[in-house]
């Protein structure tokens, strides 16, 4: 598992393109027949992907967690961004269609990922530390809490689908869902904001050959990353996280930190952006 230690805002302002990408962008997560994970010092969140092929993939034990099994003191949210597949938690099998989400709580020792008969399942996951156990729960796409936002005249008409949140699947600190765009809309989270109390991590997916220009950094000293399909942007609490694509796309957002209030954010009006 690769470790990520993050520079301060002042240090970030001095980084070149490749250094920004090394620190704030994760690529190559989705490797056939493997589980790939990255450990960050952003609220100790772990981001990863499991792409099973002919054999199941068991969630590994990583020395970086300092525990005897992965979820001994953690929880995890899993979003299937590929074809249907199965996640086994102990003796129970959970079948995940495309864009279904599974939450697994503290203390579950045996977790494995299996490919489905219809094609290639691709499981994206986010894990946060946990202090109490919440039950494992499957949320289908149809069960997500949906909010329509934006204006097509501003090219930001989008649909927010919430899975793990205060009014949905319960967790200790993890909040997770995804956002998708209507045809012709490409801007996300603009005007932007920061979360002084939480980290947020984006997985951009279903881009095809398109790109997203992901905006990051302090509101008065913005930077950017060029993102491609199935790449991850890591956002410290002091950084904005917004973007614009050259075509339609989806992104999975996940947060961890001091609270789970979705709308707890610090606005960064357009007038202050630099």
User: Which among 128, 75, 129, 137 is positioned nearest to 106, based on CA atoms?
Assistant: 75
- Phi-psi domain of 233 (left: phi exceeds 0; alpha: psi -120 through 50; beta: other): beta
Alpha carbons 50 and 58: distance in angstroms, whole number? 9
Q: Report the C-alpha gap between 76 and 128 in whole angstroms.
A: 7
- Mean residue pLDDT across the chain: 95
pLDDT above 70 as % of the chain: 100
Query: Cα dist. 61→3, 58, 180 in Å?
Result: 15, 9, 33
Q: How many CB atoms lie within 10 A of CB 184?
A: 10
**What pTM value is reported for the model?**
0.96
Which CATH number do you get for residue 96? Answer: 2.60.120.10
Q: What is the pLDDT of residue 187?
A: 95
Q: What is the pLDDT of residue 257?
A: 79
Residue 262: pLDDT over 90? no
pLDDT tens column, 2-11: 998 899 999 9
Residue from 145, 262, 247 nearest 200 by CA: 262
- As a whole-number percent, the residues of the chain with pLDDT over 90 amount to 88
Q: Which of 178, 98, 90, 201 is nearest to 136 (CA)?
A: 90
Domain around 131:
2-272
Mean pLDDT of 139-164: 95
Question: Is residue 118 pLDDT above 90, yes or no?
Answer: no
Q: pLDDT tens for residues 9-51?
A: 999 999 999 999 999 999 999 999 999 999 999 899 999 999 9
Instruction: Please determine, for residue 59, whether its predicted confidence score (pLDDT) is greater than 80.
Output: yes
Mind listing the pLDDT tens digit for each residue in 232-251? 999 999 999 999 999 999 99
Strands 34-40 and 2-4: parallel
Please count the structural domains in the chain: 1
Residue 113 and residue 193: Cα distance in Å, rounded?
35
- Measured between alpha carbons, how far is 214 from 206 in angstroms, rounded to an integer? 15
**CB proximity list for 86: less than 8 A, separation 6 or greater:** 93, 94, 95, 96, 113, 114, 116, 121
Residue 186: closest CA among 146, 213, 217, 224: 213
The answer for residues whose C-beta is within 8 angstroms of residue 35's C-beta and 6 or more apart is 48, 49, 50, 57, 59, 60, 113
pLDDT (tens digit per residue) in 166-225? 999 999 999 999 999 999 999 998 889 998 888 999 999 999 999 999 999 999 999 999
Whether 146 has a pLDDT exceeding 90, the answer reads yes
Q: What sign has the CA pseudo-torsion 49, 52, 57, 63?
A: negative
């Amino acid at each position: 598992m690769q470790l990520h230690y993050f520079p301060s805002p002042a240090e970030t302002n001095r980084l070149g393109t490749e250094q920004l990408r090394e620190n704030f962008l994760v690529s190559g997560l989705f490797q056939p027949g493997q589980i790939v994970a990255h450990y960050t010092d952003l609220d100790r969140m772990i981001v990863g992907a499991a792409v099973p092929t002919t054999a199941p993939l068991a969630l590994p034990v990583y020395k970086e967690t300092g525990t005897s099994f992965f979820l001994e003191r953690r929880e995890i949210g899993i979003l299937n961004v590929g074809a249907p597949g199965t996640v086994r938690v102990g003796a129970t099998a959970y079948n995940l269609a495309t864009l279904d989400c599974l939450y697994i709580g503290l203390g579950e020792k045996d977790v494995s990922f299996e490919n489905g008969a219809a094609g290639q399942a691709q499981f994206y996951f986010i894990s946060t530390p946990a202090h109490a156990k919440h039950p494992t729960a499957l949320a289908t796409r149809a069960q997500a809490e949906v909010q329509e936002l934006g204006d097509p005249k501003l090219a930001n008409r989008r649909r927010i689908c919430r899975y793990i949140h205060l009014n949905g699947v319960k967790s200790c600190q993890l909040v997770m869902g995804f956002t998708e765009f209507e045809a012709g809309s490409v801007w996300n989270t603009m005007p932007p904001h920061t979360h002084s109390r939480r980290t947020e991590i984006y997985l951009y997916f279903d881009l095809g050959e398109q790109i997203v220009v992901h905006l990051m950094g302090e509101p008065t000293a913005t930077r950017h990353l060029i993102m491609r399909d199935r790449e991850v942007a890591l956002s410290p609490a002091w950084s904005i996280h917004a973007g614009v694509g050259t075509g339609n796309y989806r992104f999975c957002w996940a947060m961890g930190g001091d609270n789970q209030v979705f709308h707890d954010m610090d606005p960064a009006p357009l007038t202050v952006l630099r």
